[in-house]
A and B are shown apart, each in its own frame.
Chain A
Amino acid sequence: MIRLLKLISVLMLVLAALLPLLYLFDVLGEVTMKWWMLAVTLGWFAVTPCWMGREEAPVASEGGHD
Protein backbone atom coordinates (compact mmCIF):
# COMPACT_ATOMS: atom_id res chain seq x y z
CA MET A 1 0.00 0.00 0.00
CA ILE A 2 2.76 2.41 0.99
CA ARG A 3 4.54 1.66 -2.28
CA LEU A 4 1.42 2.50 -4.22
CA LEU A 5 0.99 5.77 -2.34
CA LYS A 6 4.62 6.67 -2.99
CA LEU A 7 4.10 5.89 -6.66
CA ILE A 8 1.09 8.21 -6.77
CA SER A 9 3.13 10.96 -5.08
CA VAL A 10 5.89 10.57 -7.64
CA LEU A 11 3.28 10.66 -10.40
CA MET A 12 1.92 13.94 -8.98
CA LEU A 13 5.41 15.45 -9.07
CA VAL A 14 5.99 14.26 -12.63
CA LEU A 15 2.69 15.81 -13.67
CA ALA A 16 3.49 19.06 -11.85
CA ALA A 17 6.68 19.27 -13.90
CA LEU A 18 5.04 18.14 -17.13
CA LEU A 19 1.85 20.22 -17.24
CA PRO A 20 3.50 23.63 -17.74
CA LEU A 21 5.70 22.06 -20.44
CA LEU A 22 2.63 20.68 -22.22
CA TYR A 23 1.19 24.20 -22.09
CA LEU A 24 4.45 25.63 -23.46
CA PHE A 25 4.33 23.28 -26.45
CA ASP A 26 0.60 23.92 -27.10
CA VAL A 27 -0.52 20.44 -26.12
CA LEU A 28 -2.73 21.83 -23.34
CA GLY A 29 -4.71 25.06 -23.14
CA GLU A 30 -4.13 27.51 -20.29
CA VAL A 31 -7.39 26.83 -18.45
CA THR A 32 -7.00 23.05 -18.69
CA MET A 33 -3.41 23.28 -17.48
CA LYS A 34 -4.44 25.35 -14.46
CA TRP A 35 -7.20 22.91 -13.47
CA TRP A 36 -4.82 19.98 -13.80
CA MET A 37 -2.22 21.81 -11.69
CA LEU A 38 -4.83 22.26 -8.98
CA ALA A 39 -5.79 18.57 -9.18
CA VAL A 40 -2.11 17.57 -8.94
CA THR A 41 -1.66 19.89 -5.95
CA LEU A 42 -4.63 18.37 -4.14
CA GLY A 43 -3.43 14.87 -5.07
CA TRP A 44 0.05 15.56 -3.69
CA PHE A 45 -1.22 16.95 -0.39
CA ALA A 46 -3.83 14.18 -0.02
CA VAL A 47 -1.50 11.25 -0.67
CA THR A 48 1.99 12.22 0.48
CA PRO A 49 1.18 12.77 4.19
CA CYS A 50 0.07 9.13 4.32
CA TRP A 51 3.65 7.94 3.92
CA MET A 52 5.92 10.89 4.61
CA GLY A 53 7.04 10.67 8.25
CA ARG A 54 6.92 13.56 10.65
CA GLU A 55 10.54 13.15 11.74
CA GLU A 56 12.05 13.61 8.29
CA ALA A 57 14.37 16.57 8.69
CA PRO A 58 15.21 17.69 12.21
CA VAL A 59 17.67 20.33 11.02
CA ALA A 60 14.96 22.20 9.16
CA SER A 61 13.77 23.43 12.54
CA GLU A 62 16.75 25.78 12.70
CA GLY A 63 14.98 27.99 10.16
CA GLY A 64 15.43 31.68 9.54
CA HIS A 65 16.42 31.64 5.89
CA ASP A 66 14.98 33.82 3.24
Chain B
Amino acid sequence: MSDATSDPAATGGEYERQPVPERARLGFRSFIGMYAGEHTAGTELMIGPLFVLAGVSAFDVVAGLLIGNVLAVLSWLLLTAPIATRVRLTLYYHLERIAGRHTVILYNLANGIAFCFLAGAMITVSATALGVWFGFELPTLSDIAPNSVGWVLSVLAIGLVITLVAAWGYRFVSWFANLAAPWMVLVFIGFGVVSLKWFVDATGTTLDSPGALWTLAETAIWTGVQVPGQPAFTIWHVIFFAWFANMAMHVGMSDLSVLRFARKSWYGVASAAGMYVGHFVAWLAASMMFAFQMYDAGLTSEAAMVAAADAGTIPAPLPGPLADQALGVAGLLCVIIAGWTTANPTIYRAGLAFQAIMPQLSRFRVTIGTGLLTTMVAMFPGVAMQMLGFVALYGLLLMPIGAIIVIDYWLLPRLGLKSFYAEYAGRRLTLPVLVTWLVTLGICLALVQFAGIEIFFVALPGWFIAAVLYIGLSIMTQKRSAPARDPVRRKEGTS
Protein backbone atom coordinates (compact mmCIF):
# COMPACT_ATOMS: atom_id res chain seq x y z
CA MET B 1 0.00 0.00 0.00
CA SER B 2 2.75 2.41 0.94
CA ASP B 3 4.84 1.40 -2.03
CA ALA B 4 2.67 3.10 -4.61
CA THR B 5 4.93 2.58 -7.56
CA SER B 6 4.10 3.62 -11.08
CA ASP B 7 5.11 0.23 -12.43
CA PRO B 8 1.82 -1.49 -13.30
CA ALA B 9 3.31 -4.92 -12.76
CA ALA B 10 4.04 -3.95 -9.20
CA THR B 11 0.51 -2.75 -8.61
CA GLY B 12 -1.10 -6.01 -9.52
CA GLY B 13 -0.73 -5.78 -13.28
CA GLU B 14 -3.69 -3.45 -13.66
CA TYR B 15 -2.26 -1.29 -16.50
CA GLU B 16 -5.04 1.22 -15.89
CA ARG B 17 -3.95 3.81 -18.48
CA GLN B 18 -1.71 1.98 -20.89
CA PRO B 19 -2.11 -1.00 -23.23
CA VAL B 20 -1.28 -4.34 -21.66
CA PRO B 21 2.26 -5.18 -22.81
CA GLU B 22 3.24 -8.51 -24.39
CA ARG B 23 4.89 -9.84 -21.21
CA ALA B 24 1.73 -9.39 -19.12
CA ARG B 25 -0.58 -11.27 -21.48
CA LEU B 26 -2.16 -14.52 -20.39
CA GLY B 27 -2.83 -17.92 -21.92
CA PHE B 28 -6.15 -19.54 -22.72
CA ARG B 29 -6.29 -21.60 -19.52
CA SER B 30 -6.29 -18.48 -17.31
CA PHE B 31 -9.51 -17.38 -18.96
CA ILE B 32 -11.16 -20.79 -18.75
CA GLY B 33 -10.60 -20.86 -14.98
CA MET B 34 -11.57 -17.24 -14.51
CA TYR B 35 -14.83 -17.49 -16.44
CA ALA B 36 -15.86 -20.83 -14.90
CA GLY B 37 -15.21 -19.48 -11.40
CA GLU B 38 -16.77 -16.05 -11.84
CA HIS B 39 -20.00 -17.37 -13.32
CA THR B 40 -20.61 -20.07 -10.74
CA ALA B 41 -21.81 -17.60 -8.15
CA GLY B 42 -24.26 -17.34 -5.31
CA THR B 43 -26.83 -15.68 -7.52
CA GLU B 44 -27.06 -18.78 -9.74
CA LEU B 45 -28.79 -20.43 -6.78
CA MET B 46 -31.40 -17.67 -6.94
CA ILE B 47 -31.86 -17.50 -10.71
CA GLY B 48 -32.47 -21.25 -11.20
CA PRO B 49 -35.47 -21.34 -8.84
CA LEU B 50 -36.89 -18.16 -10.38
CA PHE B 51 -37.13 -20.02 -13.71
CA VAL B 52 -39.38 -22.56 -11.98
CA LEU B 53 -41.54 -19.78 -10.53
CA ALA B 54 -41.77 -18.31 -14.04
CA GLY B 55 -43.28 -21.59 -15.23
CA VAL B 56 -40.70 -22.74 -17.77
CA SER B 57 -41.23 -26.09 -19.49
CA ALA B 58 -38.42 -28.65 -19.78
CA PHE B 59 -37.82 -28.08 -23.48
CA ASP B 60 -37.92 -24.29 -23.13
CA VAL B 61 -35.41 -24.16 -20.30
CA VAL B 62 -32.93 -26.69 -21.74
CA ALA B 63 -33.07 -25.52 -25.37
CA GLY B 64 -33.37 -21.88 -24.35
CA LEU B 65 -30.27 -22.02 -22.16
CA LEU B 66 -28.28 -23.89 -24.83
CA ILE B 67 -29.13 -21.29 -27.48
CA GLY B 68 -28.93 -18.22 -25.23
CA ASN B 69 -25.54 -19.20 -23.88
CA VAL B 70 -24.20 -19.74 -27.41
CA LEU B 71 -25.32 -16.21 -28.23
CA ALA B 72 -23.61 -14.90 -25.08
CA VAL B 73 -20.35 -16.66 -25.98
CA LEU B 74 -20.57 -15.29 -29.54
CA SER B 75 -21.06 -11.81 -28.10
CA TRP B 76 -17.84 -12.12 -26.10
CA LEU B 77 -16.04 -13.69 -29.06
CA LEU B 78 -17.18 -11.33 -31.81
CA LEU B 79 -17.87 -8.05 -30.03
CA THR B 80 -15.71 -7.77 -26.89
CA ALA B 81 -12.56 -9.80 -27.55
CA PRO B 82 -11.61 -8.33 -30.97
CA ILE B 83 -11.59 -4.78 -29.58
CA ALA B 84 -10.04 -5.83 -26.26
CA THR B 85 -7.09 -7.55 -27.95
CA ARG B 86 -6.52 -4.73 -30.44
CA VAL B 87 -6.72 -1.74 -28.07
CA ARG B 88 -5.79 -3.52 -24.80
CA LEU B 89 -7.17 -0.83 -22.52
CA THR B 90 -9.55 -0.98 -19.57
CA LEU B 91 -13.15 -0.14 -20.36
CA TYR B 92 -12.82 3.00 -18.26
CA TYR B 93 -9.84 4.41 -20.12
CA HIS B 94 -11.26 3.33 -23.48
CA LEU B 95 -14.49 5.14 -22.68
CA GLU B 96 -12.62 8.20 -21.42
CA ARG B 97 -10.86 8.48 -24.80
CA ILE B 98 -14.20 8.26 -26.63
CA ALA B 99 -16.46 10.22 -24.34
CA GLY B 100 -14.33 12.22 -21.93
CA ARG B 101 -13.64 12.10 -18.23
CA HIS B 102 -17.04 13.38 -17.09
CA THR B 103 -18.91 10.70 -19.04
CA VAL B 104 -16.77 8.06 -17.36
CA ILE B 105 -17.79 9.52 -13.99
CA LEU B 106 -21.46 9.08 -14.93
CA TYR B 107 -20.75 5.56 -16.17
CA ASN B 108 -18.97 4.76 -12.91
CA LEU B 109 -21.91 6.02 -10.92
CA ALA B 110 -24.37 3.83 -12.87
CA ASN B 111 -22.04 0.84 -12.76
CA GLY B 112 -21.20 1.28 -9.09
CA ILE B 113 -24.86 1.41 -8.05
CA ALA B 114 -25.68 -1.65 -10.17
CA PHE B 115 -22.73 -3.52 -8.63
CA CYS B 116 -24.06 -2.67 -5.15
CA PHE B 117 -27.41 -4.27 -5.97
CA LEU B 118 -25.73 -7.32 -7.49
CA ALA B 119 -23.40 -7.78 -4.52
CA GLY B 120 -26.37 -7.17 -2.20
CA ALA B 121 -28.21 -10.10 -3.77
CA MET B 122 -25.12 -12.27 -3.24
CA ILE B 123 -25.02 -11.35 0.46
CA THR B 124 -28.76 -12.13 0.65
CA VAL B 125 -28.01 -15.60 -0.74
CA SER B 126 -25.25 -16.22 1.82
CA ALA B 127 -27.47 -15.01 4.67
CA THR B 128 -30.08 -17.66 3.87
CA ALA B 129 -27.46 -20.28 4.82
CA LEU B 130 -27.01 -18.70 8.26
CA GLY B 131 -30.77 -18.92 8.73
CA VAL B 132 -30.52 -22.72 8.63
CA TRP B 133 -27.90 -22.76 11.39
CA PHE B 134 -29.43 -20.13 13.67
CA GLY B 135 -33.06 -20.90 12.98
CA PHE B 136 -34.38 -17.36 12.51
CA GLU B 137 -37.30 -16.59 10.22
CA LEU B 138 -36.24 -16.35 6.59
CA PRO B 139 -37.92 -14.08 4.01
CA THR B 140 -40.79 -15.36 1.91
CA LEU B 141 -41.33 -14.87 -1.81
CA SER B 142 -43.51 -11.82 -1.27
CA ASP B 143 -41.22 -10.11 1.28
CA ILE B 144 -39.58 -6.96 0.03
CA ALA B 145 -38.40 -5.57 3.36
CA PRO B 146 -36.56 -7.49 6.14
CA ASN B 147 -38.98 -9.67 8.13
CA SER B 148 -37.03 -10.59 11.28
CA VAL B 149 -34.32 -9.29 13.58
CA GLY B 150 -32.35 -12.49 12.98
CA TRP B 151 -32.35 -11.79 9.24
CA VAL B 152 -31.10 -8.22 9.73
CA LEU B 153 -28.33 -9.31 12.11
CA SER B 154 -27.31 -12.14 9.81
CA VAL B 155 -27.07 -9.89 6.75
CA LEU B 156 -25.25 -7.28 8.81
CA ALA B 157 -22.69 -9.82 10.05
CA ILE B 158 -22.00 -11.24 6.58
CA GLY B 159 -22.01 -7.79 4.99
CA LEU B 160 -19.50 -6.41 7.51
CA VAL B 161 -17.13 -9.35 7.09
CA ILE B 162 -17.29 -9.13 3.30
CA THR B 163 -16.82 -5.35 3.40
CA LEU B 164 -13.79 -5.51 5.66
CA VAL B 165 -12.21 -8.25 3.57
CA ALA B 166 -12.88 -6.31 0.37
CA ALA B 167 -11.22 -3.26 1.90
CA TRP B 168 -8.22 -5.02 3.43
CA GLY B 169 -7.63 -8.48 2.08
CA TYR B 170 -8.99 -8.42 -1.43
CA ARG B 171 -6.13 -10.43 -2.90
CA PHE B 172 -6.71 -13.20 -0.37
CA VAL B 173 -10.33 -13.52 -1.49
CA SER B 174 -9.28 -13.58 -5.12
CA TRP B 175 -6.94 -16.45 -4.33
CA PHE B 176 -9.55 -18.19 -2.19
CA ALA B 177 -12.12 -17.86 -4.98
CA ASN B 178 -9.76 -19.68 -7.34
CA LEU B 179 -9.17 -22.33 -4.70
CA ALA B 180 -12.88 -22.89 -4.13
CA ALA B 181 -13.98 -22.81 -7.78
CA PRO B 182 -13.40 -26.49 -8.80
CA TRP B 183 -14.99 -27.77 -5.58
CA MET B 184 -17.90 -25.35 -5.90
CA VAL B 185 -18.68 -26.42 -9.48
CA LEU B 186 -18.88 -30.05 -8.36
CA VAL B 187 -21.10 -29.16 -5.39
CA PHE B 188 -23.45 -27.33 -7.77
CA ILE B 189 -23.59 -30.45 -9.96
CA GLY B 190 -24.18 -32.45 -6.79
CA PHE B 191 -27.24 -30.29 -6.03
CA GLY B 192 -28.70 -31.37 -9.37
CA VAL B 193 -27.88 -35.06 -8.95
CA VAL B 194 -29.34 -35.22 -5.43
CA SER B 195 -32.54 -33.46 -6.45
CA LEU B 196 -32.85 -35.83 -9.40
CA LYS B 197 -32.75 -38.67 -6.87
CA TRP B 198 -35.58 -37.02 -4.90
CA PHE B 199 -37.70 -36.87 -8.05
CA VAL B 200 -36.89 -40.49 -8.94
CA ASP B 201 -37.96 -41.65 -5.48
CA ALA B 202 -41.07 -39.46 -5.35
CA THR B 203 -42.35 -40.42 -8.80
CA GLY B 204 -41.19 -44.05 -8.80
CA THR B 205 -39.39 -43.45 -12.11
CA THR B 206 -36.77 -45.90 -13.30
CA LEU B 207 -33.95 -44.08 -15.04
CA ASP B 208 -33.24 -46.79 -17.60
CA SER B 209 -33.12 -44.56 -20.67
CA PRO B 210 -32.63 -40.92 -21.68
CA GLY B 211 -36.31 -40.96 -22.64
CA ALA B 212 -37.33 -41.78 -19.07
CA LEU B 213 -35.19 -38.91 -17.78
CA TRP B 214 -36.77 -36.51 -20.28
CA THR B 215 -40.29 -37.62 -19.38
CA LEU B 216 -39.47 -37.01 -15.71
CA ALA B 217 -38.14 -33.56 -16.59
CA GLU B 218 -41.28 -32.67 -18.53
CA THR B 219 -43.87 -34.05 -16.14
CA ALA B 220 -42.38 -33.41 -12.71
CA ILE B 221 -39.42 -30.99 -12.78
CA TRP B 222 -40.17 -28.20 -15.26
CA THR B 223 -43.92 -28.55 -15.61
CA GLY B 224 -44.57 -25.18 -17.21
CA VAL B 225 -46.94 -24.11 -14.42
CA GLN B 226 -46.34 -20.46 -13.58
CA VAL B 227 -46.74 -18.87 -10.16
CA PRO B 228 -49.28 -15.99 -10.32
CA GLY B 229 -47.54 -12.64 -10.10
CA GLN B 230 -44.26 -13.93 -11.54
CA PRO B 231 -43.14 -13.30 -15.15
CA ALA B 232 -44.32 -16.08 -17.51
CA PHE B 233 -41.27 -17.48 -19.32
CA THR B 234 -41.34 -18.98 -22.84
CA ILE B 235 -38.31 -20.28 -24.72
CA TRP B 236 -37.75 -16.75 -26.03
CA HIS B 237 -37.54 -15.39 -22.50
CA VAL B 238 -35.00 -18.06 -21.57
CA ILE B 239 -32.92 -17.42 -24.70
CA PHE B 240 -32.83 -13.67 -24.20
CA PHE B 241 -32.32 -13.92 -20.45
CA ALA B 242 -29.35 -16.30 -20.87
CA TRP B 243 -27.91 -14.15 -23.65
CA PHE B 244 -28.26 -10.87 -21.78
CA ALA B 245 -27.69 -12.03 -18.18
CA ASN B 246 -24.12 -10.78 -18.56
CA MET B 247 -24.91 -8.14 -21.14
CA ALA B 248 -22.94 -5.53 -19.22
CA MET B 249 -19.85 -7.71 -19.61
CA HIS B 250 -20.03 -8.67 -23.32
CA VAL B 251 -22.31 -6.37 -25.32
CA GLY B 252 -21.78 -3.64 -22.70
CA MET B 253 -18.00 -4.17 -23.00
CA SER B 254 -17.08 -4.33 -19.28
CA ASP B 255 -14.92 -7.33 -20.10
CA LEU B 256 -12.61 -5.21 -22.24
CA SER B 257 -10.82 -4.88 -18.89
CA VAL B 258 -10.46 -8.66 -18.64
CA LEU B 259 -9.88 -9.72 -22.23
CA ARG B 260 -7.22 -7.04 -22.83
CA PHE B 261 -4.89 -9.55 -21.15
CA ALA B 262 -5.70 -12.28 -23.73
CA ARG B 263 -2.92 -13.18 -26.16
CA LYS B 264 -5.43 -13.97 -28.92
CA SER B 265 -8.87 -12.67 -29.75
CA TRP B 266 -10.35 -16.15 -29.93
CA TYR B 267 -9.77 -16.58 -26.16
CA GLY B 268 -13.19 -14.98 -25.87
CA VAL B 269 -14.54 -18.47 -26.44
CA ALA B 270 -13.33 -19.28 -22.90
CA SER B 271 -16.50 -17.56 -21.72
CA ALA B 272 -18.26 -20.81 -22.71
CA ALA B 273 -16.77 -22.35 -19.54
CA GLY B 274 -18.65 -19.80 -17.46
CA MET B 275 -21.83 -20.02 -19.49
CA TYR B 276 -22.17 -23.78 -19.62
CA VAL B 277 -20.94 -24.48 -16.08
CA GLY B 278 -22.55 -21.52 -14.33
CA HIS B 279 -25.43 -20.52 -16.55
CA PHE B 280 -26.45 -23.97 -17.71
CA VAL B 281 -25.47 -26.67 -15.21
CA ALA B 282 -25.73 -24.48 -12.09
CA TRP B 283 -29.01 -22.84 -13.14
CA LEU B 284 -30.56 -26.20 -14.00
CA ALA B 285 -29.29 -27.81 -10.78
CA ALA B 286 -30.58 -24.95 -8.63
CA SER B 287 -33.92 -24.96 -10.40
CA MET B 288 -34.23 -28.73 -9.88
CA MET B 289 -33.72 -28.33 -6.12
CA PHE B 290 -36.48 -25.75 -5.93
CA ALA B 291 -38.72 -27.65 -8.37
CA PHE B 292 -38.76 -30.54 -5.92
CA GLN B 293 -40.02 -28.24 -3.17
CA MET B 294 -42.87 -27.26 -5.48
CA TYR B 295 -43.51 -30.89 -6.46
CA ASP B 296 -43.41 -31.99 -2.85
CA ALA B 297 -45.99 -29.31 -1.98
CA GLY B 298 -48.25 -30.64 -4.75
CA LEU B 299 -47.85 -27.50 -6.88
CA THR B 300 -47.84 -29.16 -10.30
CA SER B 301 -51.11 -27.84 -11.73
CA GLU B 302 -52.54 -24.39 -12.47
CA ALA B 303 -55.35 -24.86 -9.95
CA ALA B 304 -53.02 -25.93 -7.13
CA MET B 305 -50.68 -23.04 -7.89
CA VAL B 306 -53.48 -20.44 -7.87
CA ALA B 307 -54.83 -21.84 -4.60
CA ALA B 308 -51.39 -21.79 -2.99
CA ALA B 309 -50.75 -18.26 -4.24
CA ASP B 310 -54.09 -17.11 -2.77
CA ALA B 311 -53.25 -18.79 0.52
CA GLY B 312 -49.70 -17.35 0.49
CA THR B 313 -48.12 -20.78 0.75
CA ILE B 314 -45.85 -20.74 -2.32
CA PRO B 315 -42.40 -21.90 -1.15
CA ALA B 316 -39.70 -19.21 -1.16
CA PRO B 317 -36.60 -19.86 -3.29
CA LEU B 318 -34.10 -19.76 -0.44
CA PRO B 319 -30.70 -21.18 -1.40
CA GLY B 320 -29.62 -21.91 2.20
CA PRO B 321 -32.38 -24.35 3.16
CA LEU B 322 -32.35 -25.88 -0.34
CA ALA B 323 -28.59 -26.54 -0.22
CA ASP B 324 -28.83 -27.90 3.32
CA GLN B 325 -31.55 -30.31 2.27
CA ALA B 326 -29.48 -31.52 -0.68
CA LEU B 327 -25.91 -31.79 0.60
CA GLY B 328 -26.00 -30.88 4.30
CA VAL B 329 -23.19 -28.78 5.77
CA ALA B 330 -21.13 -29.02 2.56
CA GLY B 331 -24.06 -27.48 0.69
CA LEU B 332 -24.41 -24.68 3.23
CA LEU B 333 -20.69 -23.94 3.01
CA CYS B 334 -21.06 -23.79 -0.76
CA VAL B 335 -23.84 -21.20 -0.50
CA ILE B 336 -21.80 -19.03 1.87
CA ILE B 337 -18.59 -19.32 -0.14
CA ALA B 338 -20.37 -18.80 -3.48
CA GLY B 339 -21.95 -15.61 -2.18
CA TRP B 340 -18.81 -14.40 -0.43
CA THR B 341 -16.26 -14.98 -3.20
CA THR B 342 -18.41 -13.26 -5.80
CA ALA B 343 -19.74 -10.43 -3.64
CA ASN B 344 -16.21 -9.44 -2.70
CA PRO B 345 -14.84 -8.57 -6.15
CA THR B 346 -18.16 -6.92 -6.93
CA ILE B 347 -17.91 -4.65 -3.88
CA TYR B 348 -14.27 -4.02 -4.70
CA ARG B 349 -15.12 -2.98 -8.27
CA ALA B 350 -18.03 -0.86 -7.09
CA GLY B 351 -15.61 0.82 -4.67
CA LEU B 352 -13.19 1.54 -7.52
CA ALA B 353 -16.05 2.97 -9.60
CA PHE B 354 -17.13 5.29 -6.77
CA GLN B 355 -13.56 6.24 -5.95
CA ALA B 356 -13.11 7.45 -9.53
CA ILE B 357 -15.94 9.90 -8.79
CA MET B 358 -14.43 10.99 -5.45
CA PRO B 359 -10.67 10.60 -5.96
CA GLN B 360 -9.90 12.64 -2.83
CA LEU B 361 -11.16 9.76 -0.65
CA SER B 362 -8.98 6.68 -0.08
CA ARG B 363 -9.98 3.39 -1.69
CA PHE B 364 -10.28 1.89 1.78
CA ARG B 365 -12.89 4.43 2.92
CA VAL B 366 -14.82 4.24 -0.32
CA THR B 367 -14.88 0.44 -0.19
CA ILE B 368 -16.13 0.51 3.40
CA GLY B 369 -18.89 2.95 2.38
CA THR B 370 -19.75 0.85 -0.66
CA GLY B 371 -19.87 -2.31 1.43
CA LEU B 372 -22.21 -0.71 3.95
CA LEU B 373 -24.51 0.48 1.16
CA THR B 374 -24.45 -3.04 -0.30
CA THR B 375 -25.28 -4.52 3.10
CA MET B 376 -28.28 -2.20 3.36
CA VAL B 377 -29.45 -3.42 -0.07
CA ALA B 378 -28.95 -7.05 1.02
CA MET B 379 -31.34 -6.60 3.93
CA PHE B 380 -34.15 -6.19 1.42
CA PRO B 381 -34.84 -9.69 0.07
CA GLY B 382 -37.11 -8.18 -2.59
CA VAL B 383 -33.99 -7.38 -4.63
CA ALA B 384 -32.88 -11.02 -4.80
CA MET B 385 -36.45 -12.26 -5.30
CA GLN B 386 -36.74 -9.97 -8.35
CA MET B 387 -33.36 -11.05 -9.69
CA LEU B 388 -34.58 -11.86 -13.22
CA GLY B 389 -35.85 -8.33 -13.80
CA PHE B 390 -32.89 -6.72 -12.07
CA VAL B 391 -30.32 -8.62 -14.16
CA ALA B 392 -32.13 -7.56 -17.35
CA LEU B 393 -32.23 -3.92 -16.18
CA TYR B 394 -28.53 -3.96 -15.25
CA GLY B 395 -27.56 -5.18 -18.73
CA LEU B 396 -29.84 -2.64 -20.38
CA LEU B 397 -28.34 0.23 -18.38
CA LEU B 398 -24.83 -0.29 -19.75
CA MET B 399 -25.70 -1.69 -23.19
CA PRO B 400 -25.68 1.67 -25.07
CA ILE B 401 -22.07 2.26 -24.00
CA GLY B 402 -21.13 -1.08 -25.59
CA ALA B 403 -22.85 -0.13 -28.84
CA ILE B 404 -20.98 3.20 -28.82
CA ILE B 405 -17.62 1.47 -28.33
CA VAL B 406 -18.26 -0.96 -31.22
CA ILE B 407 -19.41 1.77 -33.61
CA ASP B 408 -16.62 4.10 -32.54
CA TYR B 409 -13.95 1.49 -33.16
CA TRP B 410 -15.16 -0.23 -36.33
CA LEU B 411 -17.49 2.13 -38.16
CA LEU B 412 -16.55 5.77 -37.53
CA PRO B 413 -13.13 5.56 -39.31
CA ARG B 414 -14.87 4.03 -42.34
CA LEU B 415 -17.24 6.98 -42.41
CA GLY B 416 -14.32 9.40 -42.37
CA LEU B 417 -14.93 10.29 -38.73
CA LYS B 418 -12.57 10.26 -35.75
CA SER B 419 -12.56 7.44 -33.24
CA PHE B 420 -11.71 8.41 -29.64
CA TYR B 421 -13.14 11.85 -30.34
CA ALA B 422 -12.95 13.21 -26.78
CA GLU B 423 -9.21 12.59 -26.70
CA TYR B 424 -8.78 14.10 -30.18
CA ALA B 425 -10.82 17.19 -29.39
CA GLY B 426 -9.69 17.54 -25.78
CA ARG B 427 -13.25 17.24 -24.44
CA ARG B 428 -14.30 16.10 -20.97
CA LEU B 429 -17.82 15.36 -22.13
CA THR B 430 -19.08 14.56 -25.60
CA LEU B 431 -22.72 15.10 -26.41
CA PRO B 432 -23.02 12.25 -28.97
CA VAL B 433 -22.16 9.70 -26.28
CA LEU B 434 -24.23 11.25 -23.52
CA VAL B 435 -27.29 11.83 -25.71
CA THR B 436 -27.03 8.35 -27.27
CA TRP B 437 -26.83 6.73 -23.86
CA LEU B 438 -29.71 8.62 -22.26
CA VAL B 439 -32.02 8.69 -25.29
CA THR B 440 -31.52 4.95 -25.93
CA LEU B 441 -32.33 4.17 -22.30
CA GLY B 442 -35.34 6.47 -22.47
CA ILE B 443 -36.65 4.78 -25.62
CA CYS B 444 -36.08 1.28 -24.21
CA LEU B 445 -37.81 2.07 -20.93
CA ALA B 446 -40.68 3.73 -22.83
CA LEU B 447 -41.03 0.57 -24.93
CA VAL B 448 -41.29 -1.43 -21.71
CA GLN B 449 -43.68 0.99 -20.06
CA PHE B 450 -45.98 1.97 -22.90
CA ALA B 451 -45.55 -0.57 -25.73
CA GLY B 452 -45.83 -3.62 -23.50
CA ILE B 453 -42.46 -5.06 -24.58
CA GLU B 454 -40.94 -7.03 -21.71
CA ILE B 455 -37.63 -5.81 -20.33
CA PHE B 456 -35.90 -9.04 -21.39
CA PHE B 457 -36.38 -8.16 -25.07
CA VAL B 458 -35.75 -4.43 -25.42
CA ALA B 459 -31.96 -4.56 -25.26
CA LEU B 460 -31.61 -6.02 -28.77
CA PRO B 461 -33.50 -3.27 -30.64
CA GLY B 462 -31.94 -0.86 -28.12
CA TRP B 463 -28.43 -1.74 -29.36
CA PHE B 464 -29.36 -0.78 -32.93
CA ILE B 465 -31.10 2.39 -31.75
CA ALA B 466 -27.91 3.35 -29.89
CA ALA B 467 -25.78 2.56 -32.95
CA VAL B 468 -27.88 4.69 -35.31
CA LEU B 469 -28.09 7.56 -32.81
CA TYR B 470 -24.35 7.56 -32.21
CA ILE B 471 -23.51 7.53 -35.91
CA GLY B 472 -25.93 10.37 -36.64
CA LEU B 473 -24.84 12.51 -33.71
CA SER B 474 -21.14 11.89 -34.45
CA ILE B 475 -21.59 13.01 -38.05
CA MET B 476 -23.39 16.16 -36.88
CA THR B 477 -20.84 16.99 -34.18
CA GLN B 478 -17.64 16.15 -35.99
CA LYS B 479 -18.59 17.72 -39.34
CA ARG B 480 -19.66 20.88 -37.56
CA SER B 481 -16.62 21.26 -35.34
CA ALA B 482 -13.95 20.08 -37.83
CA PRO B 483 -13.58 23.37 -39.78
CA ALA B 484 -13.37 25.40 -36.58
CA ARG B 485 -10.65 23.19 -35.20
CA ASP B 486 -8.60 22.79 -38.39
CA PRO B 487 -7.54 26.20 -39.79
CA VAL B 488 -6.09 24.73 -42.99
CA ARG B 489 -9.30 22.88 -43.84
CA ARG B 490 -11.32 25.97 -42.87
CA LYS B 491 -9.30 28.07 -45.30
CA GLU B 492 -9.76 25.49 -48.05
CA GLY B 493 -13.42 25.34 -47.29
CA THR B 494 -13.92 29.10 -47.58
CA SER B 495 -11.79 29.69 -50.68
CB within 8 Å of B: which residues of A? 12-13, 16-17, 19-21, 23-24, 33-35, 37-38, 40-41, 44-45, 48-49, 52, 54, 56-66
Contact = CB atoms under 8 A, between A and B. Distances in A.
B391 A66 contact: yes
* Max chain B Cβ within 10 angstroms of own Cβ: one of A34, A37, A59: A59
B174 interface: yes
The B interface is mostly helix, strand or loop, or mixed, namely helix
A56 B26 CA distance: 11
Interface stretch (B101-109, B340-348, B360-368, B370-378): B340-348
Contacts, number: 131
The A interface is mostly helix, strand or loop, or mixed, namely helix
Contacts of B328: 34-35, 37-38
10 contacts: A37-B190, A37-B328, A41-B187, A57-B37, A59-B26, A59-B31, A62-B255, A62-B257, A64-B346, A66-B39
A59 B41 CA distance: 17
A59 B34 contact: yes
Given A13-B182, A52-B179, A40 B330 contact: yes
Contacts of B430: none
Given A57-B30, A62-B257, A63-B38, 7 more contacts: A34-B329, A49-B179, A58-B26, A61-B12, A63-B348, A64-B115, A66-B43
A24 B327 CA distance: 13
Interface string B14-47: 0000000000001000110110011101011000
A55 to B, nearest CB: 8
A47 to B, nearest CB: 11
B314 interface: no
Contact of A24 (B43, B118, B180, B196): B196
A16 to B, nearest CB: 4
Contacts of A12: 183
Contacts of A44: 183
* Max chain A Cβ within 10 angstroms of own Cβ: one of B13, B175, B261: B175
A44 B43 CA distance: 23
A17 B118 contact: no
Given A20-B193, A20-B327, A23-B194, A58 B183 contact: no
A56 B330 contact: no
Interface string B331-368: 10100000000101110111000000000000000000
B376 to A, nearest CB: 19
A15 to B, nearest CB: 9
Contacts of A65: 38-39, 41, 246, 249, 274, 342, 346
5 nearest A-B pairs in the assembled complex, by CB-CB distance: A63-B345, A34-B328, A20-B193, A37-B330, A20-B190
Interface residues of B, number: 57
A66 B175 contact: no
B183 A41 contact: yes
A24 B200 CA distance: 9
B190 A57 contact: no
A60 B183 contact: no
Contact of A60 (B34, B118, B190, B330): B34
Given A24-B196, A40-B330, A45-B179, A64 B349 contact: yes
Contacts of B193: 20-21, 23-24
Contacts of A35: 328
B33 A20 contact: no
B118 A66 contact: yes
Contacts of A63: 38, 174, 342, 344-346, 348-349
A16 B328 CA distance: 13
Contacts of A48: 179
B200 A13 contact: no
Nearest to A48: B179
B174 A60 contact: yes
B186 interface: yes
B177 interface: yes
A2 B213 CA distance: 42
A59 to B, nearest CB: 5
Contacts of A20: 189-190, 193-194, 197, 327
A30 to B, nearest CB: 8
A28 to B, nearest CB: 10
A54 B182 contact: no
Given A34-B328, A37-B328, A23 B197 contact: yes
